[in-house]
Amino acid sequence: MKKLLSLLTCLIFIIQMQAQQLPKVIILATGGTIAGVGTSSTSAGYTAGKIPIDDLIGAIPAVKKLANITGEQISSIGSQDMTIDIWKKLAVRINQIYANHEANAVVITHGTDTQEETAYFLDLVVPSDMPVVLTGSMRSSTAISADGPKNLYDAITVAIDPKTKGRGVLVSFNEGIFDAREVMKMSTSFTNAFGSPNTGAVGHAFDSKVEYYSKAEREVNTTFKITADTKLPVVDIVYMYAGAPAANIDDMIARKVDGIVIAGVGNGNFNTAYMDAVKRAVAAGIIVCRASRAPSGRVVLHDEINDDELGTIVSDDLTPQKARIMLMLGLTQTKDKAQLQKYFFQY
Which residues would be at the binding site for ligand ASP (CB under 6 A)?
32-33, 48, 78-80, 111-113, 136, 138
Query: What strand order describes the sheet that includes 287-292?
Result: 235-239, 259-264, 287-292, 313-314
The CB-of-36 to ligand ASP minimum distance in angstroms stands at 7
> With respect to ligand ASP, which residue has the nearer C-beta, 147 or 161?
147
Checking DSSP bridges between strand 176-179 and strand 203-206, what pairing results, if any? antiparallel
Nearer to ligand ASP, 108 or 313 (CB): 108
Catalytic-labelled residue, pool 33, 118, 312, 319: 33
Q: CA 61 → CA 68, 279, 325, distances in Å?
A: 11, 58, 37
∠ CA 258-261-263, nearest 5°, is 160
The upper half-sphere exposure of residue 105, i.e. CA atoms within 13 Å in the direction of its Cβ, equals: 29
What is the C-alpha separation between 108 and 170, in angstroms, rounded? 10
Smallest gap from Cβ 124 to ligand ASP, in A, equals: 21
For ligand ASP, which residue has the nearest CB?
A: 111
The CA-atom distances, in angstroms, between 286 and each of 230, 249, 289, 303 are 20, 11, 10, 22
Q: Smaller CB distance to ligand ASP: residue 121 or 343? A: 121
> Which residue number, 151 or 315, has a Cβ lying nearer to ligand ASP?
151
Residues 105, 173: Cα–Cα separation, whole Å: 17
267 DSSP assignment: T
Output the smallest distance, CB 110 to ligand ASP, in A: 7
135 a catalytic residue: no
Work out how close the CB of 176 gets to ligand ASP at its nearest, in angstroms, rounded to a whole number. Answer: 15
Closer residue to ligand ASP (CB): 46 or 343: 46
Of 180, 226, 236, 257, nearest in space to 87 by CA: 226
Catalytic residues: 33
